[in-house]
Structure 1
Amino acid sequence: MSQAPPPSDSLTLATTPNAVRWARLHTTDTLSRWRVPAKVIETVELIVSELTTNAVQHPEEGEQVSPYSSLSTLRTFELVLQIGNGAVRVSVWDNDEQAPVLKQPGVDATSGRGILLVAAMSSKWGHYPVRNRDRTGKVVWAEVGLAPAAEPRRYERARSLPGQPSATVRSALPRTSEVDPSLLGRVLVGVRGL
């Protein structure tokens, strides 16, 4: 008796401004049907949002025409969702051959945080070039584990020394390693919308 192959789904969209929204909706619908935990869906949806935004916003060299113009040629990208090895894998192909750059944008920067966000929220991520007779460009991918990460212990009972904050107060302050990546992502997406 053979086992069924792991779930896989793909969606091709035109690089129009509403494509990111459709990609997020498709992701939520697909992962819900696969019974993926809600927290994982939320994280994957945010990664899809960042990767598809990059696919839509980064036109080919020299192309500066509105996607709604009659002078515009139709460009597409492909979103692939897969489950395997205890993780959800998101892959986005676009025809831009330029590799994504992980950068540390300044506090006042209004963009440039997408790949940083993907790296923070995924267990692994990467990219590879695509050059074959059917298509060229690149694929950017990220994986999110299906098992929920252990919740950090926020409160501890301990005696404190006079003049120092108690362990309860110290542990209530988030450290960098305890910041919830999905919360960080929602904040950054909200800032981007301003």
Structure 2
Amino acid sequence: MEDTIVLKPVPEAIKSARDHVGMIASALHMDDFIPRLIVSELAANAWRHAKPDDHIIVRAYPLHGRLVVEVWDQSDEMPVIQHPDVTQEDGRGLMILSQLVFRWGTRPVAEGGKIVFAEIAV
């Protein structure tokens, strides 16, 4: 099973990322709800910060009893957990993500951009 897909930065990329990671989670015999939710947030953030000619790369694979989900985008802007007030409609995704995963983080990529990853217990 292919663990990596390359997507154009369009709204439909979020569904494609979600379906891809859901398929991998199912192949590992794990509930796919959390992996789909996590990659939806990461892919949405990548899409939000992408330029029209960028790509979003989504990768998911098992490692040491966890499912690792990675999203690489070409923006150098690092994600930050926000603490929005009740009147804001967005800004909660990374805060929620941080509560659902074993570990998450970012790393810059030499080619430009960054990888945001999350490790989910299988």
**TM over 0.5, shorter chain:** yes
Tell me the equivalent position of 1:22. 16
Specify the alignment match of 1:139 in structure 2.
115
In the alignment, is the contact (CA less than 8 A) between 2:50 and 2:73 conserved in 1? no
Match of 1:105 among 68, 78, 84: 84
Partner in structure 2 of residue 53 of structure 1: 44
Q: CA offsets, 1:9-44, max 9 Å, x none?
A: 011100001110111111112221232x22xx2111
> Residue type matched to 2:112 in 1?
T
Given that 2:9 and 2:50 are in contact with CA atoms closer than 8 Å, whether structure 1 keeps it comes out as no
Please, which runs of 5 or more residues in structure 1 have no aligned partner? 1-6, 61-72, 147-194
Matched residue SS, 2:14: helix
- TM-score of the superposition, structure 2-length normalised? 0.93
Residues 46-85 of structure 1: per-residue CA shift (max 9 Å, x gap): 000000000001135xxxxxxxxxxxx4221100101011
For residues 101-180 of structure 1, what are the structure 2 equivalents within 5 Å?
Answer: 101-131=80-110, 135-146=111-122
Distance 1:33 1:44 in 2: 12
Q: Residue 26 of structure 2: which of 20, 32, 44 is its match? A: 32
CA contact (8 A) 1:8 1:81 kept: no
Secondary structure of 2:78 counterpart:
coil
Query: Could you tell me how far apart the structure 1 residues matched to 2:14 and 2:74 are?
Result: 16
Q: What is the distance in 2 between the residues matched to 1:29 and 1:125?
A: 21
* Higher Cα Rg, which structure: 1
Task: Give the count of matched residue pairs.
Answer: 122
Deviation >3 Å, runs of 4+: none
Paired with 2:61 and 2:85, the residues of 1 have a C-alpha distance of 34
Does the 8 Å contact 2:69/2:119 carry over to 1? yes
Identity among equivalent pairs (%): 31
TM-score when normalising by structure 1 = 0.60
Q: Normalized per residue, which structure has more strand?
A: 2
Give the root-mean-square deviation of aligned CA atoms: 1.5
Report the Cα distance in structure 2 between the residues aligned to 1:55 and 1:143, rounded to whole angstroms. 18
1:154-183 deviations in whole A, cap 9, x for unaligned? Answer: xxxxxxxxxxxxxxxxxxxxxxxxxxxxxx
Shift of 1:108: 1.2
Report the AA paired with residue 102 of structure 1.
Answer: I
Match of 2:4 among 5, 10, 13: 10
Contact kept in structure 2, 1:47 and 1:118, CA below 8 Å: yes
Q: For 1:8 and 1:22, how far apart are their aligned partners in 2?
A: 14
